[in-house]
Structure 1
Amino acid sequence: MPVAPKRMPFFEHIAELRKRLIVVVVTVVVLALGLYTWGWQIFDFVLRPVQSALELAGAEKLNILGPFATFTLRFKVATYAAIVVASPIIIWQVMAFFLPALKPKEQRYVVPTFGTMVALFIGGIAFCYIVVAPTAFEWMVAQAGGNSVQVLPDAALWFQAVLLLLFAFGLGFQLPVIVFYLMIFNIVPYNKLRANWRYAYVIIVTTAAIATPDWSPVTMGALAAALIVLYEGSMLLARIVLSRRIGEQKRREAIMAAGGDPDEIDALDA
């Protein structure tokens, strides 16, 4: 997909934003209409991780209340599925809109960042789907205690709950990208983040508590643990990149001190 030109007047920026929003909306609408046919298959797939929780609640099937709820739920399923399928296009449109504001040297990070964000989003959803959701929903159903309270699973509410949890993990897994660029662009120096790791961990745990829709210790703990691992991974990667940058700076200074060829310096900047 084309990327916007480098410099544009304000109204051209608005037109560019409008064009990219249209691409996103049309993509989601077309996909939603196409996926409506497989709405119930997608619904069953999304709810598969919580099947054990449903059995624990003694529910063979989920409940739909109201005559219009079947169509509404099926259409919502198709729309949410369309957003997930279109997420690479959505992420790219957002990045391509902001790309002209970056310097040429900074623009080389765009494609790797795009791939990383998509991979992390999918990885977060997969981690929640396979590892977290089954245990989390079993724990929540077990809170009924088997006393005078009976769990009556509503199809729409359970689907939304699972979906919110999946999206929370998908979005939460974007943390390494944010941390990486905070250090690469020297917004927050690496040494400062490394020295204040305790504060960083507190922020991560707080973010996990806010991001998880159920606030249960199972989901908060799983998301916080995963984010801490990803945070440390982004710190390691940033350290490698910054070390290379320092090495390039030293070579550049050595070339300049020796009265070297300017083309050699330009080659280092490329």
Structure 2
Amino acid sequence: MARLRRRPRDPEGRMTLGEHFREFRRRLFVAAMAVLVCSIVAGVFYDEVFAFLSEPFYDYRRANPENDISLNFGEATSALSNLISLSIFVGVVASSPVWLYQVWAFIVPGLTRKEKRISLAFLASTVPLFLTGVALAYAILPQSLAILYGFSPEGTSNIQQVSMYFSFVTRFILVFGLGFLFPVVLVGLNVIGAMPADRLLRGWRVAVVLIFVFAAVATPTADPFTMFVFAAPLTLLYFGAWLFCRVLDKRKAATRPDWLEVDDTEASPL
């Protein structure tokens, strides 16, 4: 019986539509398994995860003993559902190096060898930026809680449902983590030629306004403190991405053949 011969891989990374789907399915499976394994481990250490994420809440309660506030499970199934949701959240964060790599590896076959080397720096920056955003969110969480709980009228008590509290905390942390990947997206657009550094510089005023609007909308809180703490680093990262894109553009210009250079004064009809 004749063996089916495997189609040789294109040296330039070109794949058929079917190969793209199979590659996507394989990358998605690896990422999902990484999240699943990390989620199971997080479930084993659920008590430690619960204590770590609830510590900002208890920091506020210790700093404000006059406020009657507590965490409560509202239903019989609340403890189980909270265990599952927290385990998945920790699994997503802990497995971020794996699924971020899978995203990169899915894009790599469509890149040239030089673009692959550049994209390695792209990949190397994603995990630290994501984890930096996560750490910043956790650090300012007590201040954000103090602002929100500070709106409670005098004489009232806050009976905080555990499910609602951890839903707020996980969204708060993930928004910061994903938001810090914003400069990576800009650099990626620059690598494929869709976002030159000059365009980033010309549009910095609009970009800063949009960053603050995004920070106001994306964060679960409505206080200006959280918005500013989120938007200020994103603004700095925007200019950092511009500097990196400027270096890339200079390298592209240095390696561009002379016959591709176009004189703007000759090309312009005016």
Q: 2:147 maps to what in 1?
A: 139
Q: 1:157 maps to what in 2?
A: 164
Q: Return the offset for 1:217.
A: 1.6
Q: Residue 85 in 1 paired to residue 100 in 2? A: no
Query: Structure 2: how far apart are the matches of 1:109 and 1:47?
Result: 40
Equivalent position SS for 2:72: coil
Query: Structure 1: how far apart are the matches of 2:193 and 2:82?
Result: 46
Question: Partner letter of residue 135 of structure 1?
Answer: Q
Q: Return the offset for 1:31.
A: 2.3
Unmatched runs of 5 consecutive residues or more in structure 2 = 1-8, 259-270
Equivalent position SS for 1:62: strand
Residue 208 of structure 1 contacts residue 223 of structure 1 at CA under 8 Å; is this kept in 2? yes
Task: Give CA deviations for 1:153-192 in whole Å, capped at 9, x if unaligned.
Answer: 1112111111111111100101111222333443233223
Worse-superposed segment, 5-14 or 86-95: 5-14
Task: Give CA deviations for 1:211-266 in whole Å, capped at 9, x if unaligned.
Answer: 212232221111111111111111122223333443445xx65xxxxxxxxxxxxx
Identity of aligned pairs, percent? 28
Residue from 175, 181, 185 that aligns with 1:174: 181
Query: Structure 1: how far apart are the matches of 2:178 and 2:214?
Result: 11
Root-mean-square deviation (CA, aligned residues, Å) is 2.2
Q: 1:31 maps to what in 2?
A: 38
| 1:31-180 pair list within 5 angstroms | 31-55=38-62, 56=64, 57-59=67-69, 61-130=70-139, 132-147=140-155, 149-180=156-187
Question: Partner letter of residue 58 of structure 1?
Answer: D
Q: TM-score by structure 2 length?
A: 0.83
Aligned length: 246
Q: Which runs of 4+ in 1 moved over 4 A?
A: none
Query: Structure 2: how far apart are the matches of 1:97 and 1:188?
Result: 21
Residue 122 of structure 2 contacts residue 187 of structure 2 at CA under 8 Å; is this kept in 1? no
Question: Partner letter of residue 143 of structure 1?
Answer: F
Residues 1:28 and 1:193: Cα distance change in structure 2 (over 3 Å)? closer
Q: In proportion to residue count, which structure has more helix?
A: 1
Unmatched runs of 5 consecutive residues or more in structure 1 = 254-270
Residue from 207, 215, 219 that aligns with 1:200: 207
Equivalent position SS for 1:186: coil
Question: Partner letter of residue 138 of structure 1?
Answer: A
Residues 1:143 and 1:168: Cα distance change in structure 2 (over 3 Å)? same
